[in-house]
Amino acid sequence: MSGYSEAAALQALGQVADPLSDRDIVSAGHLSDLTFAEGRLRVILALPPETTQEQGLALRDASEAALKELPGVPEVAVLLTTHKPAPTVKQSATQSRRADRNPHPNKRPDGYQGDAKVARTIAVSSAKGGVGKSTVTVGLARALASKGLRIGVLDADVHGPSVPTLFGLSGRLESRMVQDRRLIGPAEADGVKIVSIGLLTGSEDPVVWRGPMVQGAIARMLWDTDWGELDLLLIDMPPGTGDPQLGLAQDVEPDGAVIVTTPQDLALLDARKGVGMFGKVDIPVLGWIENMALFICPDCGSKHRIFGDGTLDLDVPKLGSLPLSLEMRDARIEFEASADALIAALP
């Protein structure tokens, strides 16, 4: 059997008529993405706002039917997108200032919002990779849940989604209808609700996206997940302080942020940049957590500050210090003090 041909796929889509014009969907400019990988052909159609739901579904079905006839394409997925105005919501002065700094904010979808019953959202950020931000996020979530709080974790580290591994999760998430919308059903482990790109695309599949795509995908994971009633949602932020992180902070508008760093000078320098980034978008930094503060020798139990004894030197409270030890991987008691400090610092 012959293999996949992009030219053949384009020709097949060129036979699907656009209901809003006398052209096909390709010449009408509706084809936003065409990707073939591991036997799966994915198509994204960007439809104009005036397209009705019936027209959109008909285009999707017609496109899938045309592509399934192609040789070498065992699986086809056609996704629909459109640019609709956001629901009218009165903005606070702070939100207006954030919008001024974010000229291209993502728009909330119409209908029921998946995060409508989330009381508070906290961004956990490191500004630098490799300092254990995801480990701290998961440890805090478990400790908070053990105190009886309803906790969720959104793994926003799209390029390195490690939260599923830390919770021992695998497989893919399923969707379900909630009121008028189809939403993602989060996974659950240790009393925590979890959503990660690793549970949507597969843990072995690389995500090769540019900044705006990352920003948009994370915002939609927040809005399009059926979180239910949560006291606190922790967002494991992607490392860095660039445009994707700034835009994401403005789209999601968390109630506060927690900075994770090691005591190394380079890590502390980036952590200070992270504090400055959140300040620029009017998001309060509730505190910082020092990870890998001490190395505990597994043989003799002696403690060594192998990464130094630096500090942020900023007017930000310290929520706790966590050791570098073998027991740290499974123990929750190490996070109890930091969880209590975070609860006390909540706005």
In the chain, where the domains are located: 6-82, 121-345
Rounded to an integer, the average pLDDT of 157-174 is 84
> What pLDDT score does 86 carry?
36
Name the pLDDT band for 193 (thresholds 50, 70, 90): very high
Rounded to an integer, the average pLDDT of 47-55 is 83
CA distance 312 to 320: 13
Q: Which of 188, 103, 178 is nearest to 153 (CA)?
A: 188
Rounded to an integer, the average pLDDT of 12-27 is 88
**Lowest mean pLDDT, pick from 102-116, 188-202, 290-304, 313-327:** 102-116
> What pLDDT score does 2 carry?
57
Higher pLDDT, 264 or 134: 134
**How would CATH label the architecture of 121-345?**
3-Layer(aba) Sandwich (3.40)
- CB-based contacts of 170, cutoff 8 Å, min separation 6: 164, 203
Name the pLDDT band for 214 (thresholds 50, 70, 90): low
> Tell me: the pLDDT tens digits for 306-316?
776 767 677 78
Higher pLDDT, 205 or 157: 157
Please state which CATH number belongs to domain 6-82: 3.30.300.130
CA distance 311 to 333: 23
Beta strand residue intervals within the chain, DSSP E: 31-37, 40-47, 75-82, 121-125, 151-155, 175-178, 181-184, 187-189, 192-196, 232-236, 256-261, 285-290, 295-296, 303-304, 318-321
> HSE (CB half, 13 Å, CA atoms) of 71?
4
> What pLDDT score does 232 carry?
95
> What pLDDT score does 331 carry?
52
Rounded to an integer, the average pLDDT of 106-132 is 83
> What pLDDT score does 99 carry?
45
pTM of the predicted structure, to 2 decimals: 0.65
CA distance 28 to 15: 12
CA distance 303 to 306: 9
